[in-house]
Amino acid sequence: MPELPEVESIRRELDRSLSGKKIALAEVLRASVVKNTEAGYFEQVMRSNAIERFDRRGKYLLGRLESGHTLVVHLGMTGQLYLSDASEVRKKHTHVIWALAGGEEMRFTDVRRFGGIHLLDTEDVSSISALRTMGPEPLDESFTLDKFRALFLKKRSGAIKRWLLDQRFIAGIGNIYADESLFAAGIHPGRDIASISETEIDRLYDAIRSVLKQAIAEGGSSINDYINARGQKGGFQDSHKVYGKKDVPCANCGSPLSSCKIAGRTTTYCRYCQK
């Protein structure tokens, strides 16, 4: 589920609501969700700690703690990190709760458990190899068109969509936003990366950034499980042009959208509008 716009929506709300808040205690209900420490140690570090702020890197949430630790949360496919009143019944598959001073709780729920949590010294965050090797943030000011063009100069081969999904190439794009960006840019998802023209690279740069920005503005995409940190669904699924819309008329030309598998992922596109 959660790609850059969803994770960013969660980050903004948690940062707004929890910065400066004290954690009374944390409770690990399923130890395997905490990847790099014992549950007991995790709970011990959390007790009486405080949240400074929430950052994001790609699809990872980074909760910065007063103690100099960082809580690294990846939501996988079905993970949710949200605020809840302590009195609310816990959803099934709730694996960690943080009780905050004042009766509110942050909860981590993940049906499929592809997600997980690391607790690290802030300076050791890059011990997570995915974070160490992750490509640039597409919405950073420093991510200029020239930087994007430079990614293509390494004479790579393979389907462009595969590269968009590869977090080492560019951070935060998953199946939804790869398909939506390629549609917006008018590029066929199976095109070999080496064949993409300068004009197309420029169009793709604009497409990725505008799609991601619009998705954030609309609160992300809720297909099945995604909810924001306030437990609400996003709205961008209603603006999808291709994702999940096989056989639906193309928004641009009206012919039915096609679908295929690329890099093992279902891919939907318009065979007339995307060359």
Distance in Å, CB of 238 to DNA, minimum: 13
Q: To 5 degrees, how large is the angle CA 216–CA 220–CA 53? A: 65
Q: Are the beta carbons of 62 and 119 closer than 8 angstroms?
A: no
Span interacting with DNA, options 8-16, 73-81, 206-214, 248-256, rule CB under 7 A: 73-81
Span interacting with DNA, options 95-103, 139-147, 155-163, 195-203, rule CB under 7 A: 155-163
Span interacting with DNA, options 62-70, 118-126, 199-207, 257-265, rule CB under 7 A: 257-265
From CA 146, how far away is CA 181, in angstroms rounded?
A: 18
Q: What is the per-residue binding string for DNA in 133-152, x denoting contact by CB under 7 A? A: --------------------
How many other CB atoms are there within 10 angstroms of residue 43's CB atom?
Answer: 17
For DNA, which residue of 16, 91, 112, 149 counts as binding (CB under 7 A)?
112
Give, for 212, the enclosing helix (H) or strand (E): helix 198-217
Nearest CA among 75, 17, 1, 5 for reference residue 230: 17
Does position 57 interact with DNA (CB under 7 A)? The reply is: no
How many residues touch DNA under the rule CB under 7 A: the total is 40
Residue with tokens 């890197």: 57
Q: Say how far residue 270 (Cα) sits from the centre of its chain.
A: 25
Q: What is the per-residue binding string for DNA in 167-206, x denoting contact by CB under 7 A? A: x------xxx------------------------------
Does position 129 interact with DNA (CB under 7 A)? The reply is: yes
Does position 29 interact with DNA (CB under 7 A)? The reply is: no
Sequence-distant (≥ 6) Cβ neighbours of residue 46 within 8 angstroms: 23, 25, 26, 98
In the bound state with DNA, the residue whose beta carbon lies nearer, of 100 and 164, is: 164
From CA 205, how far away is CA 147, in angstroms rounded?
A: 10
Nearest CA among 71, 208, 60 for reference residue 132: 60
Q: To 5 degrees, how large is the angle CA 273–CA 5–CA 57? A: 120
Does position 90 interact with DNA (CB under 7 A)? The reply is: no
From CA 227, how far away is CA 234, in angstroms rounded?
A: 7
Distance in Å, CB of 139 to DNA, minimum: 16
Q: Which residues are known to be catalytic? A: 2-3, 59, 265
For DNA, which residue of 29, 139, 196, 223 counts as binding (CB under 7 A)?
223
Enumerate binding residues for DNA (CB under 7 A): 1-3, 6, 32, 58-59, 74, 76-78, 92-93, 111-114, 128-130, 156-159, 162, 165, 167, 174-176, 221-226, 263-266
